[in-house]
Structure 1
Amino acid sequence: MLEHIIATRPHAPRLKRRKLPAAWLLAVLLVATASGLWHVLRTHVSNLGSAQLMSEHGVYSAWNRDEVIVLVRHAERCDRSRQACLGDPSGITVNGSHAAAAVGDGIRRLGLADADFLSSPEVRTQQTASFVFGKAIETQDWLARCDSTFANAALAHKREGHNLVLVTHSGCIDHLERQLGVADGERVAGYTSALFVSKDSNGKAHLLGQLNANQWQTLNSSTGK
């Protein structure tokens, strides 16, 4: 009897699979392709934390051709740290001054014969610059105006046949990276970090990479000049 019931029980209706419209599938494919291309084509911030990486990413060769702009963020701020200050509360810390001096050692190893130096007029950037270069350097107001005009101003101040070192602020560096197509998560400029950008003879800018504070010291030790 049980077998009869099982044999005669009506089968549950099968659910038909809905076919997705071809246009919808095409749209999904196009979005996925565009997302992949965006990831591949966007500008990435390369790590320059060794002499080998500096060479591989073209920093040394571009510097020798006088095509480089270096944007150095100021050293650690007194007003945002519990570390000992140099003196002025709007300036940098003692630890920051040591980090700035390491940046100076690294830049001198690159060679300063054909280089221009400019600093933001803020106390923290002037103090940083004095430890980087061992002296006070010229200040210009545009280096403290971290707005959409900054990138063009930086490129305009790059003289042909001269590398350019700018001591500025994280917000200004961020604006330049935006113009070069760097994604949000990669636009990070720590204290005394340096962003290297090349400007070729056609006036086109290329991002070479970034060094952070600790990497300056490591690079200086490895080059040993």
Structure 2
Amino acid sequence: MTLSLDQTGIKRTLLRRALVRYKNVLVVIVASVLAVALTLRLLAPAAPPDLAQPSHADRVLLLTDSWAKGDVIALVRHGERCDRSSAQCLGPMDGVTVRGEAAVQALGADFRQLGLSHTDIHSSLLTRARQTADAMFARPVEAQDWLFNCRGSMLRDALKHKVAGHNLILVSHSECMDQLLMDMNLSTSTTFGYGASLFIKTDGANEDPQMLGYIEPKDWKNIVPVVTPNNRHGFEASQF
């Protein structure tokens, strides 16, 4: 009887030790997994800032200041595609919808508030991009193939077409916006809607391009800058 009790006690002691070892191993594994997850998150490419968020008000001011100096490249996604919508088409099936045209006309007005006096504008050769550019701007826009065939070269080609002291607006496609982000080692996790505008700052030879952020069409009313009577040579944010 005594021997049986001793064996039971030994078994309990061994079981407790095994549980302690198991618990320690489990803690180490969980801590390792959390450390790896945190490291991967810290090393993951950053996403472009959403300029409609109040926390990025400083970037909006940087955008307007840089725009006034002619140091900005804006990449704009075309309007709503006709071939992916049940809405009425503006013209050919490879173009935009009537609703999409109206939306990008409003977007063009937002860009006019930024100022277009020292701005070069190009569009993709595709119908939907050319229709978008025509609706946005009351002047001829040159269509160029590199704004659709942009794989691996979007940033390089954009910088090549940027003239010092002139902003550059490029009406293109979501794939080219993603390519620009990849070229700048940024995350492509953001889904850009029709008419979204992605902005980078560059003054040419003196600095690397800087990502400023993006604006969806519905958000321009919250961040679009205005020129005031006492500030005709600068901009201030209307609201954040």
Scaled by the length of structure 2, the TM-score of the pair is 0.77
- Residue identity matched to 1:75: G
1:35 aligns with 2:35: no
**1:192 corresponds to:** 195
CA distance in structure 2 between the aligned counterparts of 1:52 and 1:108, rounded to whole angstroms: 25
SS at match of 2:113: helix
* Gap runs ≥5 in structure 2: 229-240
Contact 2:101 2:135 in 1 (8 A): yes
**2:234 corresponds to:** none
Note closer, same or farther for the CA distance 1:50–1:60 as it changes in structure 2 (3 Å cut): farther
SS at match of 2:49: coil
SS at match of 1:83: coil
Contact 1:72 1:195 in 2 (8 A): yes
**1:45 corresponds to:** 48
Compute the displacement of 1:36 (Å): 4.4
SS at match of 2:8: coil
Contact 1:117 1:137 in 2 (8 A): yes
- Residue identity matched to 1:95: R
Compute the displacement of 1:135 (Å): 3.1
Compute the displacement of 1:31 (Å): 3.8
- Residues 124-150 of structure 1 show CA distances to partners (whole Å, capped at 9, x for unaligned) of 111100111123311111111031122
Percent identical = 34
Q: What value does the CA root-mean-square deviation take over the aligned residues? A: 3.2
Contact 1:102 1:217 in 2 (8 A): no
* Gap runs ≥5 in structure 1: none
CA distance in structure 2 between the aligned counterparts of 1:54 and 1:131, rounded to whole angstroms: 29
Note closer, same or farther for the CA distance 1:36–1:115 as it changes in structure 2 (3 Å cut): same
Contact 1:47 1:209 in 2 (8 A): yes
Scaled by the length of structure 1, the TM-score of the pair is 0.82
Contact 1:102 1:216 in 2 (8 A): no
Compute the displacement of 1:5 (Å): 9.3
Contact 2:108 2:137 in 1 (8 A): yes
Q: How does 1:67-82 map to 2 (within 5 A)?
A: 67-82=71-86
Q: How does 1:45-194 map to 2 (within 5 A)?
A: 45-49=48-52, 53=56, 55-57=58-60, 58-186=62-190, 188-194=191-197
